[in-house]
Amino acid sequence: MGLVSQNFALLCPGQASQKIGMCKDIYQNDEFARVHIDKANDILSYDIKKIMFSGPEDVLKKTVHTQPAMFISSFVIGSILLSRGLKPACAAGHSLGEFSAFALAGAFNFEDGLKLVKTRSEAMYEVGKKNPGTMAAVIGLSDEQIQNICSNYTDGIVCVANYNSPSQVVISGEISAISDISPILIEKGAIKVVKLNVSGAFHSPLMREAKDALKEHLSSMNIKNTSFPVYTNLTSKPAYLISDIYEALLNQIDNPVLWSKSVSKMISDGINKGVEIGPSKVLQGLAKRIDRSLIMYGAESYEDILNLTNV
């Protein structure tokens, strides 16, 4: 019967999945990709296409470039898959990826979504400079153990930012707090604590000020109910109503990403396959740690698109 007839989810990766050359071969082979990536240059008023295709890496990994690049990539690939007959039962996006997921589900169009992501990335970048922070991945402790350790730390701001899988949680906070708490986590049984190369303390109270610009932009948008539900980072539950979409996109900026719960909830609701749309295989790797019963596919190249639409 093939993937088209199966109960599957579109999964959109977030920041840190970017790579030089992303979408280049799709641009070369598909008219929809060419039109929308060229349009993105006009919307952003800089050459995002060159940054995506050629880098350099230190430019691509800047928050103000990474977030638009990832939105463009997932939207373009997802739209091509939908136009060729794939009919997802639902979608989800990891952090920034949620914006692509809602766009693909019809909450807003490409232009409005990219403008919103531009506002988000710029606001987060500025707040990151004003309130310096960082993040670290913690391997080998339970959610509850990490929550308790963060809650009992009183010398600065530190919290859980991403519940990625049962064995991987990301913490976020002040630079000194992350440095101080890392050896405590090791003492309590963490296998390792890996500091991430990020420009701010995402999904923490240090990002709260970025909500002002995002709230203003969201309030001016014509958001619509979606054609299929999107499991949100904020609640891990499916959303498709305008009010829920607004709340999800606004409040995920300073609240934890409930990715592991979202994937588990999708599976309990009957999803048996997932397609990661965008560069790298981060979400495919997390899926193996969350529940190996979920069969995962990846779509980051034109060949991947052909394979998925010809099964």
95, 100, 121, 301: the catalytic one is: 95
SS (H, E, C) 209-238: CHHHHHHHHHHCCCCCCCCCCEECCCCCCE
Helical spans, DSSP H, in the chain: 24-29, 31-44, 48-54, 57-60, 63-83, 97-104, 110-130, 143-152, 175-187, 210-219, 242-251, 259-268, 282-290, 302-309
Interhelix angle 210-219/110-130, nearest 10 degrees: 160
- Report the alpha-carbon angle 250-237-254, nearest 5: 30
Residue 245's φ and ψ, nearest 5 degrees, are -65, -45
Q: Which H/E stretch holds residue 161?
A: strand 158-165
Identify which of 151, 11, 153 has the alpha carbon closest to the alpha carbon of residue 74. Answer: 11
**Beta strands 273-277; 295-299: pairing state:** parallel
Cβ-Cβ contacts under 8 Å for 58 (sequence gap 6 or more): none
36 is catalytic: no
Cβ-Cβ contacts under 8 Å for 37 (sequence gap 6 or more): 23, 27, 48, 49, 52, 72, 76
Cis ω before 56 (30° cut-off from 0): yes
203, 217, 260, 262: the catalytic one is: 203
| Distance (Å, whole) CA 297 – CA 299 | 7
- Report the alpha-carbon angle 248-254-256, nearest 5: 75
217 is catalytic: no
| Distance (Å, whole) CA 233 – CA 247 | 11
Q: What amino acid positions are annotated as catalytic residues?
A: 95, 203
